[in-house]
Structure formats: structure tokens, C-alpha cells
Amino acid sequence: MRAVIYRRQSSDRDATEYGVERQGEDCARLCADRGWTVVRTLTDNDVSASGRRPRPAYQELLQMIRRREVDAVVAQALDRLLRRNIELEELIPLAERAGVRIVTVFGDLDLSTDVGRMVGRILASVASGEIERKSYRQHRAQLQAARAGRRVGGRRPFGYEQDGMTVRPAEAEAVREGYRMLLAGASLGEIARAWTSAGHRAQRAQWQGSTVRAVLRNPRNAGLRAYHKEVVGAAAWPAIVPEETWRAACAVLDDPSRVSGRRGAPVALLTRVALCGVCDAHVHAGGAVRKYRMYRCSASLGHVGRKGEPIEEYVSALVVERCSRPDARELLVDRERPDVDALREESLTLRSRLDDLAVDYAEGAVSRAQLHAGTMRIRTRLVEIEAAMADAGRVDILGPLVHADDTRAEWEGYETSRRRLVIGALMTVRILPVKRGTRTFRPESLHVEWKG
């Protein structure tokens, strides 16, 4: 009789395969005792049977049954083979048509009889119930660990050692520099190239914008513990950056205006920065029939259509002149910066109150309506606090330019993304329409309103 051995274990983090080896030994011994020929051994290692991930070896087993290449399927136990009733109902007609026996180390399962099918369904239901109980236990354990700020396994996070608790200095400094670059206007691609050129390796493949985004959005960098993508409290590991820096970075990454129209296309200096002088819509570059760049109103083709280069040169000259003045240091004074420590303390207190509300509801001390109202008030205040902290974490965009010995050289060394942030921090630029046939740029064709 031709037998196929199927082996599976849900978790094998160290990739030792000890569990599936033990299963294989038990199944091979059973086949030898019965005089069966093992034609193939199929293995799904480190794969759960809960249905969330595909099981390639199990699918191959079903194909072998359909092709009538096997007479008996041997597993250590039925829950190694399947754990869901829907899989059993798929296997029953297949095995019956092909005349395949389902055999486990603990006994045979004759799916060709009503009693065998009943036993199979009972065993599958028991296995399915165990999945649900195990899932609940894991959920409770992970939530408890999250609220306590503890780490629960997983891949080594960038910036930390394998234990997830010890900071790896070189990578941590790269993470800090990544935040500085992002908040100074750099693109995710620029940060990816900087990390790659510095010799830092991504967990998988090479650094790309998407992998950089995942690192910078991770709340663990701010010493915060998250559960199901929601921050639940302070973490047990040390932070790499302040919480306000992380929140400022998230605000930048979530800003829809960062999305450019064509993947990889460079964004012009004043695109979505300058405004149309007719309707106050943003201008964008492109649409010219000639080789030079044009700025046009994004709302109407007839409002503004201006040659880009002279406008950019004039705006750049204004930036350099303003940041070169003796009173330029006044631009750096932030009289509205919030008290970050007080905000952080209030945030922790409010999160603790959310937990207290949940306990009170479970004990019947508050009603469902009171729970809902209290939760909404707390979460509304948390959103306000997080927005204030994000604003406080924004980097000093103008400082390096104001303090530079050579302001023009400093400006010319900036990438376009950083220049755009500087312009947005200093002024509002409106591009006015000019008469048809005008060839000479005139400063009065721009309306510049200084900020601060």
C-alpha cells in the first residue's frame, strides 16, 4: 500500500524541525509495522492549521489524492492534518472517491462510514475549539504584556539588539538621522539611500521607501508599546527618539500632500507650495508644450501659466536675503511651544483611565452608555494631545540656514524637498497672471506674504 506521511507543527521559531522529525518517526514506524511503502513525506513546518496562512504541503497532499497517487495518509494525530470542519468536509468526498484511508498513530479514521465521519467531525470540532481557546489565551497574554510595556518575541527591530531591549548604537543613530531628514523635508527614498550607503541592512532585501516608512512609524522608537497598532502605554525598553519627534514624523507621513502623481517623479520647488493669484488653489508644474517648466493653476487652466525658472530663482533669492539679515535669528524663536513633559504625563494618565473604565464596566460599576461617553471624551483629548506633541516635535527647519556662515551656499546644498519646507515656513507665494506675450520677469507679478 502506498502511504504519504504528513507532518506539521504550528511554531518553530528556531527552525530546528525537532517537532516534525518526531512526528515523522512515529508515522514511519506505523507504516513499517503495517508493511506499507512510504512514497512521500510532506511537511508544513512553522505553519498553523487555523487557516490564516496557506499550507503548501497540505495542498499538495490533496492533489496527490485527486491524482490517485496514494492509498493511505498517515499523520501523528488528526489535529496535525487539519483543525477546521471545512477542511474535513473537503477531505471526506476526496478520500471516499479515491478510496484513501486516513490513519493516525492513535488510530484509523474510516471516512467511508457514517460512524467514521461522525468521529472525524467530533475530533475536528474539538481541534477547532482548541484553536479558539488558544487564540484567546494568546490574545490575553499579549494584551497583558503590552499594557506592562513588555516585548513578546518577534524579529529583531532595527535600532535594537535581538532582545529588543538593548539599543544598538550605530543603527539607533541612523534612526535618529532618518527622523531628522524626514522632518527636514527629505523623501523616504533619500533616507533609504542614506541608510544603504552607511552599510545598514534591512531585515529583508534592500532599504526602500516602504521599509523606511515602517521603521519610522514604529512607536517602539519612542519608547511606546503598541497593541494592534494602538499605543497602550510606555514600553520597558529605552526610547531612541522623544515621543514628540515620533508623532511629528507620523504626521508628516500621514500628510496626503506628500503623495506625488507619478511614482519616482521629482516634485518641482513650488508645486503645492505656491498659490494661484486668481483663486488661491495650489499651483503645479508641467503642462508646457515647450521644454521649460511651467507653473499652472491646479483648479483652472485659464488662471495662471508662468515659466517656472525665473520665479524659482526670485523666490530662492528672497529666502537667502531674509535668512542673511542681522535680525534673522528672530525667525527661530518659538513662543508657542507646548510643555511636552506635561502633555506626556497627561497622555499616560488618560490611557490609565481608559483601562480603569474597562474594569469598571466589567464589574458593573458603570453602564454601557457611561463607558461609551467616557471613552469618547478621553480619546478626543488624546487626539488633541498627540497633535500638540507632533507639532512640538517638528525640527528646526530654518536654524541651519540662519546660522550658516554662507547662507547662499547652505541653500544651494539643500535638496528640493528641504527647500520646499523652508519656503513654506517663511512665506506664502501667490503667482499672478501676466499679459500674453510678456517675456520679462517682474517681481510685482508675484505676491509674497511673509509669515511670523
Q: pLDDT, tens digit, for every residue of 140-158? A: 666 666 666 676 667 889 9
Q: Which three cell numbers stand for residue 13?
A: 521559531
User: Mean pLDDT of all residues in the chain?
Assistant: 84
User: What is the band of 394 on the pLDDT scale with cuts at 50, 70, 90?
Assistant: low
> Model confidence over 342-393: pLDDT tens digits?
887 788 788 778 878 888 888 888 888 888 888 998 888 888 887 777 766 6
What is the residue-wise DSSP string for 71-125? SEEEESSHHHH---HHHHHHHHHHHHHHTPEEEETTEEE-TTSHHHHHHHHHHHH
Q: Look at residue 8 and tell me whether its pLDDT is greater than 70.
A: yes
Closest of 255, 254, 251 to residue 387, by C-alpha: 251
How many Å is the Cα radius of gyration of the chain? Answer: 32
User: What is the band of 50 on the pLDDT scale with cuts at 50, 70, 90?
Assistant: low
How far is it, in rounded angstroms, from Cα 280 to Cα 56? 57
The whole-model pTM stands at 0.53
Average pLDDT over residues 80-84: 82
Q: Which three cell numbers stand for residue 377?
A: 471624551
User: What is the band of 260 on the pLDDT scale with cuts at 50, 70, 90?
Assistant: very low
Q: Where are the alpha helices (DSSP H) in 363-406?
A: 368-392, 399-403
- Which is more confidently placed, 139 or 121? 121
Q: Which three cell numbers stand for residue 380?
A: 478626543
Q: Which three cell numbers stand for residue 236?
A: 520597558
Q: Find out whether 250 and 387 touch, Cβ atoms under 8 Å.
A: no
Highest mean pLDDT among 118-132, 181-195, 262-276: 181-195
**Residue 8: which H helix or E strand, with range?**
strand 2-9
Q: Which three cell numbers stand for residue 442?
A: 517682474
Average pLDDT over residues 156-165: 91
* b/e map 35-53, b = 16+ CB within 10 Å: ebebeebbbbbbbbbeeee
Average pLDDT over residues 184-194: 86
User: What are the two backbone dihedrals, phi and then psi, of residue 299, each rounded to the nearest 5 degrees?
Assistant: -100, -30
Helix/strand/coil for 68: coil
Of all residues in the chain, what percent carry a pLDDT higher than 70? 86
Task: Please enumerate in sequence order all residues whose Cβ is within 8 A of that of 18, keeping only pairs 6 or more positions apart, or say none.
Answer: 12
